[in-house]
């Protein structure tokens, strides 16, 4: 068991997606990009320009989905990563994605999440009582479902590792990778 799902859709944040995608490969994990359909998706870049109080969006790279949500058998994957961007706002209504997300929480497999990615596990109903980082403007989304907002670059709560924005990748991706390594070692021991 060496595959890790990365959730995408149109307007997924580029850095949120590509940093873990390549970081997984450095430790011999196989990232598998899952989306509503098996096709190419357009990503975006978010940045708050000097003097602005809200994010500005730029067109980013594209990424090919390896598998559609409906075809995902979550038991075949070691972990899950949910990037931010605007995509989670739309993806959170996808029944198969919610099924996948619930599986990873129910089976205590490693889940990484950043920024607006919070909207997917929130919609799946798996965050009650869980401590989590997210972009501060999504604090309400977390607290509305009974989660606990922590404004830190890395929050580890059991199987869930989270950061606020792509600026935190260097702080929370490492601990998430460590959980994946431990899970892989346990799976190899049987």
Show which residues are catalytic.
116
Q: How far, in Å, CA of 184 to CA of 29, rounded?
A: 9
Q: How far, in Å, CA of 53 to CA of 168, rounded?
A: 19
Which letter does DSSP use for residue 125 in this model? Answer: T
Token readout for 131 is 């401590």
**Does residue 93 contact residue 112 with C-beta atoms inside 8 Å?**
no
Token readout for 83 is 């990037």
Q: Which residues contact 188 (CB under 8 A, 6 or more apart)?
A: none
For 70, other C-beta atoms within 10 Å of its C-beta total 15
Helix (H) or strand (E) holding 97: helix 95-106
């Amino acid at each position: 068991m060496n595959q890790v799902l990365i959730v995408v859709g149109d307007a997924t944040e580029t850095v949120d997606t590509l940093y873990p995608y390549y970081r997984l490969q450095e430790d011999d994990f196989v990232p598998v990009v899952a989306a509503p359909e098996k096709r190419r998706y357009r990503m975006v870049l978010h940045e708050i320009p000097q003097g602005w109080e809200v994010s500005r969006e730029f067109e980013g790279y594209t990424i090919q989905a390896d598998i559609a949500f409906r075809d995902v058998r979550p038991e075949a994957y070691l972990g899950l990563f949910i990037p931010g961007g605007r995509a989670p706002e739309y993806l959170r209504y996808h029944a198969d994605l919610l099924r996948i997300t619930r599986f990873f929480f129910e089976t205590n497999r490693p889940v990484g999440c950043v920024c607006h990615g919070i909207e997917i596990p929130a919609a799946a109903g798996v965050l009650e009582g869980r401590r989590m980082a997210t972009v501060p403007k999504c604090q309400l989304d977390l607290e509305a479902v009974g989660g606990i907002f922590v404004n830190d670059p890395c929050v580890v709560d059991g199987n869930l590792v989270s950061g606020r924005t792509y600026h935190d990748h260097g702080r929370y991706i490492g601990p998430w990778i460590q959980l994946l390594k431990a899970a892989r070692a346990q799976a190899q021991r049987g």
